[in-house]
Amino acid sequence: MALSSDGITLFLAVVDHGSFSGAARALRRVPSAVSMGIANIEAELGYPLFDRSHREAVPTSQAMALVPQARTIASSLRLLQVHAAQLSQNLESTLTIAVATGIRDQDLLDAVTRIGTRYPLLRINLLRAPQDQVRTMLHQERIDLVLMAAATQADREEARATVGQETFVAVASATVDTPSLPTDLRRLEDLNTSRQIVVADPYAPLVERRLLLSDDRWHVDSVEAALDLVQRGAGWANLPTSAIQTAVAAGRLRVLKFDNTRNGVTLPVHLAWLRRKPLRRAAGEVVELMHRGHR
């Protein structure tokens, strides 16, 4: 094959250094080997790559037409070689991370962007789903890391690093009446008989109990759906402050007030993984970046 990886390296070296002797010095070869290698490539291609009538090796028009793609291939080969070496040093080929719905992920996105720059051929998958669902995915080993609020009960199979916190507050529509909500709402317990919109998997056995007050619940799979329903008066919800700020400022949502307690539950946010599945290189660096940023 005329332009093998070695042939591409040889060809570009002559183009870049302007002579067979310059390419030979750069590649640490003797000039005759470079000249013979180019001659062999030209013989297979059936046309000259360099005009040898001058002191310098001047690329022909055909050679210049090959240069852009040759550089692309050479760059890809270098990346492949680096990635192959990294894989031998415990770098995973794919990193899959799930984010519990409603948890701020800006820091995570910053971290994976840095990791993606560090390891250009690493494939990264990011998923979003209700917290109960992403924990199930973790234990089924479908994902490597999960970003979630601290679970009510610790699981001995999980290892965790604290990377932030999130405050959940009870909110209702500020523009329409919520039929199930008491008009004289004063106490937190008054929400017990009101319909609650919950961001959770209705079929999962584990639910974040600290955020549940009512037995009358509608389940949705995203904060956006919960916001839409609450604003329409379908019910009230415990939602992250980061997700409601715009709607509250615009007068579409109101934060409920109670006489007997402060409205708000603040939970640590963790990156979690399975103890039986130790973190590999990229996952460990994501955890370190986020944990260090939180300290």
Instruction: List pLDDT tens digits, range 184-203.
Output: 888 888 898 899 999 888 87
What is the rounded distance in angstroms from the CA atom of residue 80 to the CA atom of residue 204?
42
Residue 99 pLDDT:
95
pLDDT band for 132, please (50, 70, 90 cuts).
confident
> Does domain 94-164+268-294 fall into CATH 3.40.190.10?
yes
Q: Please choose, from the candidates 147, 171, 173, 174, the residue with its C-alpha nearest in 3D space to the C-alpha of residue 158.
A: 147
Residue 2 pLDDT:
65
Residue 73 pLDDT:
87
Task: Judge whether 94-164+268-294 and 166-266 match in fold.
Answer: yes
Q: Please choose, from the candidates 177, 230, 173, 174, the residue with its C-alpha nearest in 3D space to the C-alpha of residue 199.
A: 230
Instruction: List pLDDT tens digits, range 269-283.
Output: 999 999 988 888 999
Q: Which amino acid is at 211?
A: L
* Distance from the first to the final alpha carbon of the chain: 56
Architecture per CATH, domain 5-87, reads as: Orthogonal Bundle (1.10)
119-147: b or e for each residue (b if 16 or more CB lie within 10 Å)?
beebebeeebbbbbbbbbbbeeeebbbbb
What residue segments make up the domains of the chain, in order of their start?
A: 5-87, 94-164+268-294, 166-266
Instruction: List pLDDT tens digits, range 49-98.
Output: 898 887 788 889 998 999 999 888 888 887 777 667 666 667 888 999 99
Residue 89 pLDDT:
66
Residue 245 DSSP symbol = H
pLDDT higher than 80, residue 217: yes
Q: Which two tokens stand for residue 187?
A: 């106490």
> Does domain 166-266 fall into CATH 3.40.190.290?
yes
- What is the average pLDDT value for the chain, to the nearest integer? 88
Q: What percent of the chain has pLDDT over 90?
A: 42
3-state helix, strand, coil in the chain (%, to 5): 45, 20, 35
Residue 295 pLDDT:
64
Average pLDDT over residues 91-113: 92
